[in-house]
Chain A
């Protein structure tokens, strides 16, 4: 079995007579995104600060690659800390320094690199984070999203193996929230770090997390995948997890994953086993769209897709929910597959005309040259029988998906000629 990258064994921490962490046992695996969730004030940040060494446990042991950190020599401890970065909830950028100086500081102060080399590494990170235009600006002159990117650039400039994110999306609207989470997932893929997040943003966080850790009354009450959490019968899951998830997905306006499952079960369970229904999976090339147009505009497009699905499918008795970062599943319980195909054709024609942007409302600033691209919207349609597992339906529908519409960005002149 794989050795966890970081493991907590019986970690206890009290402040005065208040016990915050009461025998925490958890495991974080290399290369994964793990998300720590829990009520406010239950010690999530305290737990995170133990990993970076800002706090020490009263009892218990923290293991890094199987080795207790309290047994490490000073040099080994320094080496361990050098492999971890921490991104603060409110970014903690140095407000009297420019973006460049902020990102360069860890290299200037903790390495013996030459100025030229530092400059090149910092500029690499800044360009990767799409911050080249604001390199000489101060943090107060940047938008919230840009400040997050600067904080991430600073956290990643030392090439850490582990990045700890303390509520990176708190206080953001659904679009910005999803774009920050996508940014984390995208850079995790690009740089290969292990991530541990604290977040309350359910269900958005589930789409990028490999593992969920639930902190409950000073202990880790659950650790595993989202799917495992849905099958767990524990009052804490109902009381906390499902209450946070709510009934609607704020980004798309569709049902939340949990509400979708409940609706699916309530409709399918009373039906005869042999009775068929139709399922459609929609997928937008969101990653590509993010790269070309910027994540905020990409998520606006995704929201548009969600709203359009809701408008067309709900009046047929259908219900839909986001199943992953870029996929929406629609169940049409009373529709035969042929009828659904006709519906999909009409839907696709409408969507095609909706997903055209001109230079004016198209890509973000600095991405105007990107006009002329085409990004596909896919749909896969399949027939299913009552009570079939949703995961199986998804796989089958995805296997037959094809392009139904294209997100096009055309120049203003092209748009006018199309209208004529």
Chain B
């Protein structure tokens, strides 16, 4: 009797780990299938209007906030890098370091996190509400595939918008660095731009763009998935489940952005 109790205590962490591993693998599989099915449906007829509408919602309406964040990121980088570099007398390479940081790392990551917070959360909430109010069931009864109508345009629009927003972020970030580095702290203007031009190579730019494409796919898939399966949540229902789904979508997207950032970077270095 005692042995069996001891065994159960000893085994319980493994049972827990095993259960969690199964849930994670299952979820990963479900998300992958969800992405695959939705991605294929992008190329079906009658999708252009929906995609353009979502490009406007995810891309155009996020551009202001992305540029604002880009400006201040560039400015603060200009300040921090200047004070670090001036100690070694290498403030002339400010443009290089700033451009490389922005194009390779900060641009794609911060843009993705900003868009997750702004458009990703709204994707989850909108689809989640449509789910709990039977609007998605209504689409099915009308023979409209909800994945095609609701999810595919959002994934396509994210894949289109994320690189463009990242490009905006980078450009405005460089200007922000110029404001603090050149205008406020007195770095030579010619040296600043010359260093940017000489140190940036095409692979830095494509690496950043590839990252933003991947982030776009991840964020849109996670956010749509969480909204689409809001009703399957066991811990809550109704409006509460939408709120939990939205929070989960944002947190999970941010974590996956950083994890995938590391993986992609390790391939590109």
Binding between chains A and B: yes
Mark A residues whose CB is within 8 Å of B: 52-54, 78, 81-82, 84-86, 88, 90, 92-96, 105-106, 108-110, 154, 158
A81, A94, A96: the one within 8 Å of B143 (CB): A81
Across the interface, do B134 and A109 meet the contact criterion of CB distance under 8 Å? no
- Tell me, in angstroms, the Cα distance from A85 to B138 when the chains sit together: 9
Hey, what's the 0/1 contact readout for B107-126 against A, CB within 8 Å counting as 1?
A: 00000000000000000001
Q: Which residues of B contact A54 (CB under 8 A)?
A: 137, 140-141
Across the interface, do B137 and A88 meet the contact criterion of CB distance under 8 Å? yes
A-B contact pairs, 7 of them (CB 8 A): A54-B140, A81-B143, A88-B137, A92-B135, A95-B133, A108-B46, A109-B144
Additional pairs, 8, CB under 8 Å, beyond known A92-B134, A110-B142:
A86-B138, A90-B133, A94-B135, A106-B142, A109-B46, A109-B149, A110-B143, A110-B144
- A285 CB to closest chain B CB (Å) equals 36
- Decide yes or no: A88 and B138 within 8 Å by CB, A95-B133, A109-B46, A109-B149 being known contacts: yes
4 shortest A-B CB distances, which residue pairs? Answer: A92-B138, A86-B141, A92-B134, A106-B142
- Decide yes or no: A82 and B133 within 8 Å by CB, A88-B138, A92-B138, A109-B46 being known contacts: no
- Tell me, in angstroms, the Cα distance from A417 to B142 when the chains sit together: 56
- Tell me, in angstroms, the Cα distance from A84 to B140 when the chains sit together: 12
- A88 CB to closest chain B CB (Å) equals 5
Q: Which residues of B contact A92 (CB under 8 A)?
A: 133-135, 137-138
Q: Which residues of B contact A110 (CB under 8 A)?
A: 142-144
Across the interface, do B144 and A52 meet the contact criterion of CB distance under 8 Å? no
Q: Which residues of B contact A53 (CB under 8 A)?
A: 140
- Decide yes or no: A88 and B144 within 8 Å by CB, A109-B46, A109-B149 being known contacts: no
Across the interface, do A105 and B142 meet the contact criterion of CB distance under 8 Å? yes
Q: Helix, strand, loop or mixed for chain B's interface?
A: helix
Residue of A nearest to B133 (CB): A92
Q: Which residues of A contact B135 (CB under 8 A)?
A: 92-95
Q: Which residues of B contact A109 (CB under 8 A)?
A: 46, 142, 144, 149
A78, A96, A105: the one within 8 Å of B144 (CB): A105
- Tell me, in angstroms, the Cα distance from A78 to B46 when the chains sit together: 18
Q: Which residues of A contact B140 (CB under 8 A)?
A: 52-54
Classify chain B: how many residues form its interface, as a range.
Answer: 10 to 19
- A226 CB to closest chain B CB (Å) equals 29
Q: Which residues of A contact B134 (CB under 8 A)?
A: 88, 90, 92
- Most-contacted residue by chain A among B130, B138, B140, B144 (CB, 10 A): B138
- Decide yes or no: A106 and B144 within 8 Å by CB, A86-B138, A88-B138 being known contacts: yes
- Tell me, in angstroms, the Cα distance from A52 to B139 when the chains sit together: 12
Across the interface, do B141 and A85 meet the contact criterion of CB distance under 8 Å? yes
- Decide yes or no: A82 and B143 within 8 Å by CB, A109-B46, A109-B149 being known contacts: yes
- B204 CB to closest chain A CB (Å) equals 41
- A49 CB to closest chain B CB (Å) equals 8
- A263 CB to closest chain B CB (Å) equals 43
- Tell me, in angstroms, the Cα distance from A95 to B126 when the chains sit together: 11
- Tell me, in angstroms, the Cα distance from A82 to B143 when the chains sit together: 7
Q: Which residues of B contact A78 (CB under 8 A)?
A: 143
Residue of A nearest to B129 (CB): A95
Residue of B nearest to A94 (CB): B135
Residue of A nearest to B130 (CB): A94
Residue of B nearest to A81 (CB): B143
- Tell me, in angstroms, the Cα distance from A53 to B133 when the chains sit together: 19
Q: Which residues of A contact B133 (CB under 8 A)?
A: 90, 92, 95
Q: Which residues of A contact B143 (CB under 8 A)?
A: 78, 81-82, 106, 110
Q: Which residues of B contact A96 (CB under 8 A)?
A: 126
- Tell me, in angstroms, the Cα distance from A78 to B142 when the chains sit together: 11
Q: Which residues of A contact B141 (CB under 8 A)?
A: 52, 54, 84-86
- A166 CB to closest chain B CB (Å) equals 9
- B13 CB to closest chain A CB (Å) equals 28
Q: Which residues of A contact B46 (CB under 8 A)?
A: 108-109
- Tell me, in angstroms, the Cα distance from A53 to B46 when the chains sit together: 24
Q: Which residues of A contact B138 (CB under 8 A)?
A: 86, 88, 92-94
- B103 CB to closest chain A CB (Å) equals 38
Q: Which residues of B contact A158 (CB under 8 A)?
A: 142
Q: Which residues of B contact A85 (CB under 8 A)?
A: 141-142
- A36 CB to closest chain B CB (Å) equals 17
- Tell me, in angstroms, the Cα distance from A158 to B135 when the chains sit together: 18
- Tell me, in angstroms, the Cα distance from A408 to B185 when the chains sit together: 89
- A52 CB to closest chain B CB (Å) equals 5
- B20 CB to closest chain A CB (Å) equals 23
Q: Which residues of B contact A106 (CB under 8 A)?
A: 142-144
- Tell me, in angstroms, the Cα distance from A154 to B149 when the chains sit together: 17
- B128 CB to closest chain A CB (Å) equals 13
- B33 CB to closest chain A CB (Å) equals 19
Residue of B nearest to A52 (CB): B141
- Tell me, in angstroms, the Cα distance from A81 to B141 when the chains sit together: 8
- Tell me, in angstroms, the Cα distance from A154 to B144 when the chains sit together: 13
- A273 CB to closest chain B CB (Å) equals 56
Q: Which residues of B contact A82 (CB under 8 A)?
A: 143
Q: Which residues of B contact A81 (CB under 8 A)?
A: 143
- Most-contacted residue by chain B among A84, A105, A109 (CB, 10 A): A109
- Tell me, in angstroms, the Cα distance from A332 to B144 when the chains sit together: 58
Residue of A nearest to B149 (CB): A109
- Tell me, in angstroms, the Cα distance from A109 to B143 when the chains sit together: 9
Q: Which residues of B contact A88 (CB under 8 A)?
A: 134, 137-138
Residue of B nearest to A106 (CB): B142
- Tell me, in angstroms, the Cα distance from A90 to B144 when the chains sit together: 19
- Tell me, in angstroms, the Cα distance from A84 to B149 when the chains sit together: 20
- A115 CB to closest chain B CB (Å) equals 11
Q: Which residues of A contact B126 (CB under 8 A)?
A: 96
